Amino acid sequence: MSVYIHETSRTFHLQNQQFSYIMKVLPNGHMGQLYFGRPIHDRENYDYLLEKCIRSHSASPDLLEGFSLEHVRQEYPVYGSADFRQGAVEILQENGSRLCDFVYRGYRIIEGKPRLTGLPATYVEDESDAQTLVLNLSDAVTGVELELFYTVFREMGVLTRSAHFINKGSKAVQLTRAMSLSLDLPDDQYDWIQFSGSWARERMPVTHRLSEGIHAIESLRGHSSHQQNPFVILKRPRTDEFSGEAMGFSFVYSGNFLAQAEVDTYQVTRFMMGIHPTWFSWKLESGDDFTTPEVVLAYTREGLNDLSQTFHRLFQNHLIRGEYRHKVRPILINNWEATYFDFNEEKLLAIAAKAKECGVEMFVLDDGWFGARRNDYAGLGDWYPAKELLPDGIAGLSEKIEQMGMKFGLWFEPEMVNPDSDLYRAHPDWVLQIPDRKNSLARHQLVLDFSRPEVVDYIYGLVSGILRESRISYVKWDMNRSITECGSQAYPADRQGEIFHRYILGVYDLYERLTAEFPHILFESCAGGGGRFDAGLLYYAPQAWTSDDTDAVERIKIQYGTSYGYPVSSMGSHVSAVPNHQLNRITPLKTRAETAFFGTYGYELDLNRLSEEEIADVRKYTQFMKDHRELLQFGTFYRLRSPFESNEPAWMVVSGDQKEAIVGSFRILSKANQAFMRLRLAGLREDLLYEVEGMGTFYGDELMGAGLVTSDAATGKVGENIMPSGDFSSVIYLLKAVK
């Protein structure tokens, strides 16, 4: 890992064993992009990569002959001078101009990685694990200075980017566009992969070939959203799961975002990612500063699995914090789909008691335990226990659960309020709203104005009070609606463009305070399921409820798509009742469990309603997860067959020493007299002999080359050891190296 500085040619070369990233100061003082890709030898001068050209109808800054910003690759471009493509930055000035001219002034190198104040970001604990280059630029007219941060991680193909603005001028300005990353690439030969969906079908991979024009995904919902995830992959057309060049961009942020690729008519691709500029502005008085959230850029030449594994390792080791960073997750049961709002303490204790018999380690009480909350019309914001349901409160219930030998968890939705609540009646001005405009309701609730510190302080007081007085080991933090009418009565007109971002900063502040005071509590983020599943929240909550859709067949697709950018240990996954509450589909208990194994694992049903045979299976699956969760949650994950392309999707995890592996193979629909089947495995050592439980021993090269024979009764084979077949079926294969 090195940052090479060549003063004479004013060239910067960031390099590790996975990539090289090369920039230089352009003739007009702006920063130019020369190269990003496989590592190449360092040299004093790469000017041959700077192709300066004046084409017809081009403009040249400062009458520089043979040089036009329109046809040069740049690091942090500006629209409005000689570049007609979309820019990374825009500053509204007193005279109405939005033009700026950030010229290189110098640099500094930081060993390690500085933290971003008030924002989640990747980190290192050992300074030798990363090196950071900071480029200093300034705009002479406004006096605004710009710092561009580039951090190279030593052991991974990862470069992180963010920008820091400081107004050192005498007049206030409005920052109206501030991307975290801009990257100009020399060609357009890329497939763009986005992860789209909606509630209950989040993060479905969608692939497009880049072409001239703009391709973008975004969220203007106030959260990263079910619809588009702030994660994009650009890959070469022939790149697949196991070979080829690809780069991934993950935004470490939970609010409005924009990710776009602009391809010009000369096939240059400009990728940008950052806070969405719509409804965004940030007033910088003299002396004020603003830091953009971080973008993680990962690069590989070894295919999409390797790209995903890079993100998994980075997030598990350098983003997630606290006690559960490397700790297996407790097996829990949540009462929501078992009872919804219809419960009392007796019913809850009965569910917990049965779960305890089955080996479950934690009971989680979901919505409906507080205030007047007997349905979703009332009570949000009134975080005090409903004594008619829980005579001894949360403190008493949590103590009774712990006396059973289980841990206790609790649901909150701290960012929301019902109009029918004591909180709203006392503070109607504490919700996001715009004067003289009607508020929109969603799920019968409004959004608290977390841009106001006093609102965050109040909610912190209520939630922390419950956590202090009770025996709580887990918190499920929900957020069940998007933001509308985003305005605040606490800020003047020229700061209303700050509210979306200030809201997210308030969310982060509350998370930071609670996780710091209660480091033993496992926090799980949730936003109507997977509506805020992003790298930003992984910094505070090491796992997220992957989707409200608990159907096993749909979860195969959702978890498969999520795995492109997020580790298995971050995916909340439960076994729920059938018929499924979202799809009304009936799937085998075995398939529901074996799908949920590849996540945090838990139950979302009343086990008292199962048959004795089913209870025996629950005990078996619970024990299996306990025996193997270290490998399942922290092993190296491989996608083998896609549920979007195959009727028999498959994936696997491999231990760090490659001596153990678990394969999950699934069938969506059974077919009559179907072809023989083989499943090529991955990640094994070629020279090791593996025992596949119940099937025999095979060398790693056999299993990865010839494949594992997975033919079952659907092929017409018969015999004692032939797997049965059927719709919505699954098989788990256990591999262990033979000594």
What DSSP letter does each residue of 172-230 carry, written as one string? -EEEEEEEEEEEEES----EEEEEE--TTS--EEEEEE--SEEEEEEE-SSSS-SSB-S
Q: Are 162 and 297 in contact (CB under 8 A)?
A: no
Q: What pTM was computed for the model?
A: 0.97
Task: Give the 3-state secondary structure of residue 116.
Answer: coil
Q: What is the pLDDT of residue 55?
A: 80
Could you give the residue ranges of the DSSP H alpha helices within 383-421?
Answer: 393-403
CA distance 652 to 567: 13
Q: What are phi and psi of 178, to 5 degrees?
A: -150, 85
Q: What is the pLDDT of residue 2?
A: 85
Q: Are 675 and 726 in contact (CB under 8 A)?
A: no
pLDDT digits (tens, 9 = 90+) for 674-689: 889 999 999 999 999 9
Domain boundaries, the chain: 2-53+66-318, 332-634, 650-737
Q: What is the pLDDT of residue 344?
A: 97
pLDDT digits (tens, 9 = 90+) for 444-479: 999 999 999 999 999 999 999 999 999 999 999 999
Sheet containing 2-6: which strands, arranged edge to edge? Answer: 2-6, 11-15, 20-25, 31-37
Angle at 671 between CA 668 and CA 673, to 5 degrees: 150
Sheet containing 689-692: which strands, arranged edge to edge? Answer: 636-641, 650-654, 660-667, 729-737, 689-692, 696-699
As a CATH number, domain 650-737 is 2.60.40.1180
Sign of the torsion angle spanned by Cα atoms 393, 362, 559, 569:
positive
Neighbours of 443 (CB within 10 A): 14
Q: What is the pLDDT of residue 52?
A: 80
Q: Which candidate in 478, 534, 549, 712 is catalytic?
A: 478
The CATH number of 2-53+66-318 is which of 3.40.50.2300, 2.70.98.60, 3.40.640.10, 2.40.160.20?
Answer: 2.70.98.60
Task: Give the 3-state secondary structure of residue 127.
Answer: helix
Q: Which fold has domain 332-634?
A: TIM Barrel (3.20.20)
Question: CA 626: distance to chain centroid?
Answer: 26
pLDDT digits (tens, 9 = 90+) for 113-147: 999 999 999 999 999 999 999 999 999 999 999 99
Exposed/middle/buried for residue 84 (C-beta within 10 Å: 0-12, 13-18, 19+): middle
Residues 6+ apart with CB under 8 A from 403: none
Residue positions counted in the chain:
739
Sign of the torsion angle spanned by Cα atoms 586, 589, 591, 596:
positive
String of b and e for 403-434 (b: at least 16 CB within 10 Å)? eeebbbbbbbbbbbbbbbbbbbeebeebbbbe
Position 268, amino acid: V
Q: Which candidate in 188, 367, 534, 548 is catalytic?
A: 548
Give the residue from 438, 450, 459 showing the smallest Cα distance to 499. Answer: 450
Beta strands in 470-536 (DSSP E): 474-477, 522-525
Give the strand pairing for 446-447 and 362-365: unpaired
Q: Are 38 and 110 in contact (CB under 8 A)?
A: no
Q: Are 81 and 64 in contact (CB under 8 A)?
A: no
Residue 392 catalytic?
A: no
Residue 627 catalytic?
A: no
Neighbours of 625 (CB within 10 A): 22
Q: What are phi and psi of 187, to 5 degrees?
A: -150, 180
The rounded radius of gyration (Å) of the Cα atoms in the chain is: 27
Give the residue from 493, 507, 497, 491 showing the smallest Cα distance to 447. Answer: 507
Give the residue from 83, 97, 66 showing the smallest Cα distance to 31. Answer: 83
Which stretches of the chain drop beneath a pLDDT of 70? 1, 62-65, 717-724
Instruction: Name the region of 96 (left: φ>0; alpha: ψ -120 to 50; beta: rest).
Output: left
Strand partners, 153: 130
pLDDT digits (tens, 9 = 90+) for 21-72: 999 999 999 999 999 999 999 999 999 999 887 787 788 776 666 788 888 9
Position 187, amino acid: D
Q: What is the pLDDT of residue 722?
A: 64
CA distance 310 to 700: 23
Q: What is the pLDDT of residue 723?
A: 65
Give, for 12, the enclosing helix (H) or strand (E): strand 11-15
CA distance 132 to 130: 7
Angle at 214 between CA 208 and CA 215, to 5 degrees: 35
